């Protein structure tokens, strides 16, 4: 599977920072056809909008969900957790509600919704991560959210992951457990990787992509790359990777 990181920033990016760097809001394209989170800043980064057939949402926050972006991509299928999928409407949009743990086939992928440690203004909403499978490869897509929930662990089961995409909002020099703020620091991800490797859930050589980085909590791209070790890959807008 081919990943294109169309946007890699958290909600506090609203233009270039003092260093002249800019991250669009977090959105990822798979094989040019399946989009995760159609955001307000994604349209100018999509190589071929007409090729997108399926859009999956992690949650309804305004930096991840945009009705205008969806309308620009129509006709397409739109997937969101059933707790709020009924609120999505628009000409050319076929809305499909998701249930945690129940796989959906789309654009050649098997998408398995998993609950994430995140919340929105909708008290009733279940926010999502995804276990993504294609041609024997498995990818964990885990943004937004802090840590991984026990339910996610059970859904992944004994499957071995070939790569992971993690929410790295908080940065790499913030001590402490940030789960109450619903996002990861890079140190939190390091701890998760130790457990995942020990349990055999993640290949030892599997790349771990860092995205959803806060404007105010990270250094520039070059400095962050210099401060992070393998298997971390610090994503940037427009970056492509094969899994």
Establish if 37 belongs to a structural domain: yes
Summarize pLDDT for 71-124 with one digit per residue, the tens: 999 999 999 999 999 999 999 999 999 999 999 999 999 999 999 999 999 999
CB atoms within 10 A of CB 201: 22
Length of the chain measured in residues: 243
pLDDT for position 234: 98
Cα separations in angstroms, 69 against 58, 88, 126? 15, 12, 22
Q: What is the mean pLDDT of residues 193-215?
A: 96
The 3-state secondary structure of 4-28, one letter per residue? EEEECECCCCCCCCCCCCCCCECEE
Tokens 């949650």 belong to 59
Does residue 29 form part of some domain?
yes
Residue 217 lies in a domain: yes
Tell me the two tokens of residue 232.
Answer: 């971390």
On whether residue 172 sits in a domain, the answer given is: yes
43-57: pLDDT as tens digits: 999 999 999 999 999
Q: Residue 48 is part of which domain span?
A: 2-237
Which ranges constitute the DSSP H helices of the chain? Answer: 67-73, 150-156, 186-198, 221-227
In-domain check, residue 243: no
pLDDT(183) > 90: yes
Around 105, how many Cα atoms within 13 Å sit in the side-chain half-sphere? 2
User: Is residue 138 pLDDT above 90, yes or no?
Assistant: yes
**Within-domain flag for 229:** yes
Rounded distance, CA 123 to CA 139, Å? 29
Question: With pLDDT > 70 as the criterion, what percentage of the chain qualifies?
Answer: 100
Q: Mean pLDDT in the chain?
A: 96
Helix (H) or strand (E) holding 208: strand 208-211
The verdict on residue 242 lying in a domain is no
Does residue 103 fall inside a structural domain?
Answer: yes
CA 177, distance to chain mean position in Å, is: 21
CATH of the domain at 78: 3.60.15.10
Measure the N-to-C terminal CA separation of the chain; round to a whole number of Å. Answer: 5
Quick one: pLDDT at residue 137?
97
**What's the rounded Cα separation, in Å, for the pair 31 and 114?**
21
Say if residue 62's pLDDT is above 80: yes
State the pLDDT at residue 178. Answer: 74
Measured in whole angstroms, how far is the alpha carbon of residue 184 from the centre of its chain? 13
pLDDT of res. 177: 80
- What are the DSSP E strand ranges found in 37-151? 54-56, 76-81, 93-98, 104-106, 109-115, 128-134, 137-142
Q: Are 127 and 118 in contact (CB under 8 A)?
A: yes
Confidence label for 167 from pLDDT (cuts 50, 70 and 90):
very high
- Cut 0.85: pTM above it: yes
Contact 26, 39 (CB under 8 A): yes
Q: Which residues of 215-231 are buried (b: 16+ CB within 10 A; e: fewer)?
A: bebbbebeebeeebeeb
Say yes or no to pLDDT of 173 above 80: no
Flag whether pLDDT at 58 surpasses 90.
Answer: yes
Q: What is the pLDDT of residue 172?
A: 86
Predicted pLDDT at 19: 86
**Structural domains of the chain, count:** 1
């Amino acid at each position: 599977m081919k990943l294109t990181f169309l946007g890699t920033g958290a909600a506090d990016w609203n233009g270039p920072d003092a260093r002249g760097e800019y991250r669009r809001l977090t959105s990822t394209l798979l094989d040019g056809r399946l989009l995760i989170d159609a955001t307000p800043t994604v349209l100018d980064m999509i190589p071929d909008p007409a090729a997108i057939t399926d859009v999956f949402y992690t949650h309804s926050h305004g930096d991840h969900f945009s009705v205008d972006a969806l309308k620009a991509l129509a006709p397409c299928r739109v997937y969101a957790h059933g707790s709020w999928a009924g609120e999505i409407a628009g000409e050319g949009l076929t809305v499909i509600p998701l249930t945690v743990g129940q796989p959906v086939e789309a654009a050649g992928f098997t998408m398995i919704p998993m609950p994430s440690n995140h919340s929105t203004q909708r008290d009733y909403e279940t926010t999502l991560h995804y276990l993504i499978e294609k041609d024997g490869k498995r990818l964990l897509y885990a943004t937004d959210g802090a840590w991984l929930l026990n339910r996610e662990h059970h859904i992944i089961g004994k499957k071995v992951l070939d790569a992971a995409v993690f929410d790295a909002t908080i940065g790499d020099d913030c001590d402490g457990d940030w789960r109450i703020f619903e996002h990861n620091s890079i140190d939190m991800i390091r701890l998760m990787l130790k457990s995942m490797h020990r349990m055999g859930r993640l290949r030892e050589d599997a790349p771990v992509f860092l995205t959803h980085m806060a404007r105010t909590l990270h250094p520039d791209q070059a400095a962050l790359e210099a401060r992070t070790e393998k298997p971390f890959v610090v994503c940037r807008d427009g970056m492509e990777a094969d899994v």
